[in-house]
Amino acid sequence: MNTTEPKKLQPDKSWFLTELIGAKVVCDGRTIGKLTDITVEEIGPIPHVRSLVVHRPFGDPQLIIPIEQITTIASRLITVDLESTAIYEHKILPEVTLLKDYLLDKKVIDTEDREVSIVYDVRIIMINKKLYVSEVDFSRYGLLRRLGFAWAAPLLNIKQDLVSWMYIQSLPTDISSFKGSLKLKTLRETLSDMPAVDIADIIEELDREQRALVFGGLESDHASDTLEEVDPSVQRELIATMAKDSVAQLVNQMTPAQAADILSVLSHVEKESILLHLDTHLASRVKLILERQDEDILHYTTTRILTYHPAEVVSFVHETYAENVKNKDVHTYLYIVNSDNILEGVLGITDLLQNKGSSYLKDVMTDSVVTLSPENTLKDASELFIRYGFRAIPVVDEEHHLLGVIPYKDIMGLKHRFVE
């Protein structure tokens, strides 16, 4: 058997626990029992599967089979390689955690000890011949799947909703068939709001397989932000676990400078492969940056910003901010432009919150705006960032048309650096 560790970490397979329970366990072509449970051990934020609990017929003692002895897994058939069943005849120790017996049908509690739902299923995933508990399913979809009615979910407009185990607190030490609950680390409605920098810190502390699991469980926009925050060596490792079109989907949500920063840690072959999957306009700008033609400051601008007309009322901006800020690269400033896209002023988010709803933006904005022109260099931009402490600087042409905005970190945080 080839035991060389594969280069890629793409999950080999995944199953839901309820699909595996009851599966026949076969050794040397002979059925030796049925799977009744799975034991797990919490090592880091993602539990490892340790062994199978197998019920045997005719009153024979149950078997506790380590996962290392598994040769194949399917929803209704598991094959194992055992020299003798006798050496695996064990009782379950009190400190062992049973996945089915201890977790299924348990309450899910939020941080304020309010019941959120019930655990209907858990997802198990295989990476590099290791098994992990990756997600918890306490959605109505999970209940339908468990009852054998998953086919009805689309008809009822019920979507699958899995929660990564990284959002689950460590299991209580006294959890058993009748005691204990799963508790969330954060409120269910704010799970997706965990800052990308915090998720990056978590990911950097994990081993390779667990990194792939945690990162793979993030929503696309959150994964994109997180990828920007992790260490370059981890960036490359995570990208290696993904299909190129999936990487491109994340990179397409970045600014050109951020995208170039991510691709700069990859080999030439990997870089070119991903560039082929990018949005054409973004790819062309990224290539110019990677080729060190980076004195053209327009390559670093983003137009995914918040713009409003000067006659807009502050109350309207308050009401629409949360929706309008989605998928924007700059969140801290509002750029006030007239109908001809001429920049008339800037309003910081702090100043916006401090102003009354009946005011007009033109009355509360700052009309003395520090700007850059297309003729400026990256060094000019860096000097302005250092001098004024801005988080972003607009770029305008001679007529003061707003051409785009340069975020602070796109200039000051470049790993490939700009030409001095």
Residue 295 lies in a domain: no
- Of 74, 99, 124, the residue at which a domain comes to its end is 99
Q: Which amino acid is at 383?
A: E
Residue 293 lies in a domain: no
**In this predicted model, what pLDDT tens digit does every residue of 80-118 receive, in sequence order?**
999 999 999 988 888 888 999 988 988 888 766 777 788
Q: Which amino acid is at 206?
A: L
- Tokens 């502390």 correspond to 205
Residue 116 lies in a domain: no
**In this predicted model, what pLDDT tens digit does every residue of 187-239 receive, in sequence order?**
444 445 667 777 787 778 777 777 777 787 677 777 888 888 888 888 888 88
Question: How many distinct structural domains can be found in the chain?
Answer: 2
Residue 164 lies in a domain: no
The dihedral built from the CA positions of residue 107, 212, 208 and 257, taken in this order, carries a sign that is negative
- Of 99, 126, 157, the residue at which a domain comes to its end is 99
Residue 128 lies in a domain: no
Q: Which amino acid is at 309?
A: H
**In this predicted model, what pLDDT tens digit does every residue of 286-338 receive, in sequence order?**
888 887 645 678 888 999 899 999 999 999 998 888 888 888 889 889 999 99
CATH number at residue 35: 2.30.30.240
CATH number at residue 404: 3.10.580.10
Residue span of the structural domain in which 392 resides: 300-412
**In this predicted model, what pLDDT tens digit does every residue of 45-64 receive, in sequence order?**
688 999 999 999 888 999 99
Say what the pTM is.
0.51
Residue 36 lies in a domain: yes
Residue 119 lies in a domain: no
Residue 181 lies in a domain: no
